[in-house]
Amino acid sequence: MPKFMVTGGAGFIGSTLVRSLLDQPNGEVEIVDNLLTGHEKNIADVRKRVMLHHVDIRDASALRPILKGADVVFHLAAIPSVPRSIHEPQASHEVNADGTFNVMRAAADGGVRRLVYAASSSAYGDSETLPKIETMIPRPKSPYAVQKLLGEHYAAVFHSCFGLETVSLRFFNVYGPRQDPSSPYSGVLSLFMRHLLARTAPTIFGDGEQSRDFTYVEDVAGLCIKAANAPSSVAGKMFNAGNGGRFTLNQIWSLLQKVEGVEIAPKFGPPREGDVRHSMADTQAAVAELGHAPKFTIEEGLKKTLEWYRMAEIQTTQGVA
Ligand code: UD1
């Protein structure tokens, strides 16, 4: 029975991946999470089917016995925020850079077959060209982008020097159910959802004409599993994990108002430090080599996400959650 280990498995993307892995015909699923940005409630419905190791990836000696012998390690644990990495560079570096090194080292020493690493589209920075293709020279604009890029380089080197089969996936602005809207560093779509349901105005940083390749979380989880199962020829490589489209924040807020049948003018604030202007993935390599096939259009993804937030809000007000 193969063992799948998900670091950050109690987080927003990690918990979706855990569910997708449990839907497969076989395999045991275990989670490593320090429950800092992840929450046990994200895995409440599958809690009895998974083992949760309450461990911090900064703790190398605790990681080693846990990762040993796993078939695949999905490394998603991170402090995932561009602005947070500017306000708290030390903590963010320790988790995203040092922690990632610890995970890869433990995986290599522990005989793990493959490691799938959650890299980030932020590595591209503000290069003018769209779409962003894997062969472009990275231009990181924030500590977060540097840390995530470092992990990619380590992933490639852990393959070439230590024989660990690694695949890096540059996630492009993932959204969907369970994205936590409660922090000032939360992803913009989780904040938009909360404002829409509360009928309050979101704040858009800048003119709202910046664009993102918003990617639905189940599509990303599906691609992680494809990366784990792809032939060994993908080892040591990095792929974009996006949809290949882009929407401005103004377009998304308009779409959400239409879906909900309301009109709420957003507030506009100053542009955010470290922000990238436009982002959109070239998906050809991921399609050709990993079999990437995103299923959700932005309309479908936004509707599913909104319904989840609506239910979660009802449960919270009824004291269920
Ligand atoms: C970046 C990465 C993404 C990564 C994420 C981790 C890029 C292109 N993307 O996302 O791959 O997974 O970091 O956190 O670098 N905004 C508002 N109002 C708000 C909040 C945000 O207008 O209340 C704006 C931001 O200024 C930004 C956009 O929304 O222009 C998206 O922000 P956010 O959701 O934080 O993600 P990125 O920083 O783009």
pTM over 0.85: yes
- Ligand 1 atom nearest to CA at 208: 22
- Closest to 62 (Cα-Cα) out of 54, 71, 50, 70: 54
State whether the beta carbon of 80 lies less than 6 angstroms from ligand 1: yes
CA–centroid distance, residue 90 to ligand 1 (Å): 20
What are the strands, taking DSSP E only, across 8-57?
28-32, 50-53
Give pLDDT < 70 ranges for the chain.
Answer: 319-321
Chain centroid, CA 115 distance in Å = 15
> At residue 222, what are phi and psi to the nearest 5 degrees?
-60, -40
Query: What tokens were used for 18?
Result: 């855990």
Angle value at C-alpha 84, between 154 and 20, nearest 5 degrees: 60
CA–centroid distance, residue 187 to ligand 1 (Å): 6
Query: What tokens were used for 140?
Result: 């990181």
- Compute the distance between CA of residue 234 and CA of residue 165 in angstroms, rounded to an integer: 8
State whether the beta carbon of 194 lies less than 6 angstroms from ligand 1: no
- Closest to 148 (Cα-Cα) out of 220, 76, 241, 223: 76
Mean pLDDT over each residue of the chain, to the nearest integer = 96
Domains located in the chain, CATH noted: 3-172+216-244+280-295 (3.40.50.720)
* Residue 317: per-residue pLDDT: 75
* Residue 321: per-residue pLDDT: 52
Query: What tokens were used for 216?
Result: 């639905």
* Residue 273: per-residue pLDDT: 87
* Residue 154: per-residue pLDDT: 98
* Residue 126: per-residue pLDDT: 85
> At residue 90, what are phi and psi to the nearest 5 degrees?
-65, -55
For tokens 């996006």, name the residue: 242
- Compute the distance between CA of residue 106 and CA of residue 87 in angstroms, rounded to an integer: 29
State whether the beta carbon of 81 lies less than 6 angstroms from ligand 1: yes
* Residue 98: per-residue pLDDT: 98
* Residue 319: per-residue pLDDT: 66
